[in-house]
Amino acid sequence: MDKNQLSEGIVYLVGAGPGDPGLLTLRARSLIEGCDVLVYDHLANRKLHDWASAGCERIDVGKSPGRHTMEQSEIGEILVAKAQDGLKVVRLKGGDPFVFGRCAEEMLALDEADVPYEVVPGVTAALACAAYAGIPLSHRDFGSSISFLTGHEDVAKESLRVDFAKFAEVGGTLCIYMGMSKLEEIVEKLLVGGLSKDRPAAVVSQGTLPGQRKILAPLGELVEQARVGDLSAPAIIFVGNSIGLARSSTWFDRAPLFGRRIVLTRASGQKSKMRSRLEELGAEVIDLPLIKIEPAEDRKLVAEVFAGIATYEWVVFTSANGAKAFMEIFFRAYSDIRSFGPMRIACVGESTAEVLQAYQLDIELISQDSTAEGLAKELIGTDSLDSANVLVITGNRNREILVDVLEGVGRAIVDTLPVYQTDFADVLEAPVLSTFLKNGADAIIFTSSSTALSYVEQSDDLIFEGGARKPILCSFGPQTSKTLKENDLKIDLEASHPSTDGLIDALVEHFSASG
């Protein structure tokens, strides 16, 4: 192998943190964004994969109870082989690589193969779960030591490898990883070792994520309380006097949508202000794409429009998808943004405007409501349309009302340029489908008539299992509501005004009222 090629390859052993992507280090994010290969396990949040480039190779080496993707030796072989191919490899490991992350074994494999590597620390689960659950791990009056223990070091091993009876004598706070499958045995050994049944204890499951759950109980009642609460792995078990200072409610679970599972039906691969806002408010957001967006252009029409692009007085963008597709076509035709011309720009909603603002384009008009009707009214209010040449950027499913109003009431001369098409996505291809049908959700959001029609069309594949939460149906605005009603679907919630903020405000109000 060429020495220069070998010298370029490197492995980064990166801590993915406990779950919340916001707890990842800046160094870790930078490496994920620039890597050639992403090797990940199941405790690393899948959202982190979105930061990798489209061309990045993704390799799943995760282990979970009853499922072993590959042996540890095989993982080491992959890391060595990819680095020796001259690639930048990120080995993404849940929590911190050196805290029960088997980083030492992978380091040895890399050392033996003389492959360069770097270790990037991560926030370990015990510290993060305790903080998000409001559980102090130390207090000068209740405990001045913290011990990190593991219920087992390999999901394939059945026996405990830590003598918990001896650790009962240590005192302080015990933080026990990977112990849920052996919880009863662990508690029994701690009691045999001398800990009181009244010693404060806790279990935090799915820590730092919207689905986080916890129980606080005396050690003697912990097993039964965990069973009643149906807490499962991944989880951290805490035992110690300082745990008694914790409260049932914390800063994290007081978020207005905490514990709510919200389903978005938009096309996959799209940045979403709605997702970000819902997650900020504590919701668990899952994507169930019901539509797909694909480029679609009439080359002859594009050539005609671009030949006369300087003659338009307004260009109107009806969606973020249209804005993205248009700019891609534009830069195939022109290399300089100054070729855009003197057109004034109007957009439906903030999300559409943000696409164009990224190119340093000034937006003359952003409609308050994210509807064609709202934009048409505001454009007419500018008194600039009479005999004006207007270009409307559309998709294949855009309604004609915008063009009709601009031509009829505004007396504008309107050309339309379709640049993308919306089709139904096959719901059976959605990775979350089985989980969604098994567990259900609290709400499903329809942001367009297209998503509503796709839901109706594929209803036979969207039948919930017994015991699943039945979601309320939420509509982005009047037109989407009309489509749902025409198909005999009950609308439980409609945005106060057609916008992301309007819909989220309605969700918060609804769930606050329902408790």
pLDDT beneath 70, residues of the chain = 1-7, 63-69, 153-160, 269-271, 399, 515
- For residue 70, the model assigns a pLDDT of 75
- Cα separation, 245 vs 226, in Å, equals 19
Q: Is the pTM of this model over 0.85?
A: no
Whether 197 sits among the annotated catalytic residues: the reply is no
Tell me which of 20, 36, 63, 343 is the catalytic residue. 63
- Cα separation, 6 vs 1, in Å, equals 7
- For residue 269, the model assigns a pLDDT of 67
Q: Check residue 181 and report its DSSP letter.
A: G
Whether 63 sits among the annotated catalytic residues: the reply is yes
Please report, for residues 48, 264, 395, the alpha-carbon distance to residue 327 in angstroms, rounded to integers and kept in the order given. 27, 26, 14
Q: How many residues does the chain have?
A: 515
- For residue 4, the model assigns a pLDDT of 45
Q: Which two tokens stand for residue 506?
A: 């309605």
CATH, range 7-122: 3.40.1010.10
CATH architecture for segment(s) 127-245: 2-Layer Sandwich (3.30)
- For residue 205, the model assigns a pLDDT of 96
Among the four given CATH numbers 3.40.50.10420, 3.40.50.10090, 3.40.50.150, 2.30.30.90, the one describing domain 261-290+425-514: 3.40.50.10090
Please give the single-letter amino acid code of residue 61.
V
Same topology for domains 261-290+425-514 and 294-424, yes or no? Answer: yes
CATH architecture for segment(s) 294-424: 3-Layer(aba) Sandwich (3.40)
Whether 178 sits among the annotated catalytic residues: the reply is yes
3-state secondary structure of 44: coil
- For residue 515, the model assigns a pLDDT of 65
Q: Would you report the helix, strand and coil content of the chain in percent, each value rounded to 5?
A: 40, 20, 40
Please report, for residues 133, 252, 282, 284, the alpha-carbon distance to residue 210 in angstroms, rounded to integers and kept in the order given. 12, 9, 6, 5
- Cα separation, 319 vs 92, in Å, equals 36
- Cα separation, 36 vs 55, in Å, equals 7
Tell me which of 107, 178, 274, 343 is the catalytic residue. 178
3-state secondary structure of 233: coil
Torsion of CA 354, 295, 53, 273, to 10 degrees: 30
Are 122 and 98 a contacting pair, CB within 8 Å? no
Pure H helices in 168-319: 183-192, 222-229, 273-280, 299-307
End-to-end CA distance of the chain: 64
Annotated domain spans of the chain: 7-122, 127-245, 261-290+425-514, 294-424
- For residue 6, the model assigns a pLDDT of 44
Half-sphere exposure of 323 (CA within 13 A, CB side): 23
User: 417: part of which helix (H) or strand (E)?
Assistant: strand 413-424
Please report, for residues 76, 178, 292, 362, 363, the alpha-carbon distance to residue 343 in angstroms, rounded to integers and kept in the order given. 57, 61, 30, 10, 10
